[in-house]
Structure 1
Amino acid sequence: MLDIVSKYRNLLANIGEYIEDSKFKKEYLIERLGISRATFYNKVKKKSFTTDEMVVLSPILFPEEAKAFEIKEALRACREDSKAGKTRSHKDVMADVGSKLRS
């Protein structure tokens, strides 16, 4: 658990650099966060983004990690569904796909 806290602290400590290195313009980040320009720059300076704001920023600043996380979560959910017996036959899935493609 302490490693998670340490990594989060490190993330916040370096957030300004991550933003500068990002391929996205700051205006885009400000828009996505839904905060004013002044508030954004204050938060960067003070390293005071909230957890919810970091949830918005992280996939933008670290898209590869976000995609990997998304895939891992999808696989975890699939495993849980499989264990719970929530499965469908290949034939049923292909029939659904075929009907969607014809629509």
Structure 2
Amino acid sequence: MILEIKNYIQISNSIDEILKNSPFKLKYIIEKSGISEPTFFRKMKEKKFNPEELLKIAEIIDPEKTSKEDILKAIEEGLDDVRNGRLTSHQTVLSEAKERIAKKKNEYLLDK
């Protein structure tokens, strides 16, 4: 846990350099982060982004890593489900999919 906290502090303290070296324009990062431009620049200057904001910025400037981590986590969760017997039969999945498709089809026809 200490290593994670030290990494967080290092990232927080060097966020301006990280953003400067990002392949994305700062305007794009600001827009995607949802933080107003004046607030973003103030937080960057003061190095005062909260953890959620830093996470959002990281997801913007390194989307491939986020995707890879999400995929690996989903695989591990799936393997855990299999190990613990949390399975759904093929027939059940197929039946539920057919029901969803029929419902969407009916909703579409009612809208016309």
- 2:49 aligns to what? 49
Supply the AA of the counterpart residue of 1:85: G
Moved more, 56-65 or 7-16: 56-65
Supply the AA of the counterpart residue of 1:62: D
How far off is 1:82 after superposition?
0.8
Query: Using the alignment, how far apart are the partners of 1:70 and 1:63 within structure 2?
Result: 10
How far off is 1:88 after superposition?
4.8
How many residues in Structure 1 have an aligned counterpart in Structure 2? 96
Query: Using the alignment, how far apart are the partners of 1:42 and 1:61 within structure 2?
Result: 19
How far off is 1:64 after superposition?
3.4
Q: Deviations over 1:41-96 (max 9, x none)?
A: 1111111111111121111222332123112211221122112212356xx38x95
Moved more, 71-80 or 60-69: 60-69
- 1:32 aligns to what? 32
Query: Using the alignment, how far apart are the partners of 1:54 and 1:8 within structure 2?
Result: 9
In the alignment, is residue 84 of structure 1 matched against residue 84 of structure 2? Answer: yes
Are 2:15 and 2:44, in contact at CA under 8 Å, matched by a contact in 1?
yes
Supply the AA of the counterpart residue of 2:58: S
- 1:72 aligns to what? 72
Q: Deviations over 1:3-51 (max 9, x none)?
A: 0000111111111111111122222221222222111111111111111
- 2:14 aligns to what? 14
Supply the AA of the counterpart residue of 2:61: L
Q: What is the RMSD of the two structures over their aligned residues, measured on CA atoms?
A: 2.3
Moved over 4 A (4+): none
Q: What are structure 1's unaligned runs of at least 5 residues?
A: none
Q: What are structure 2's unaligned runs of at least 5 residues?
A: 102-112
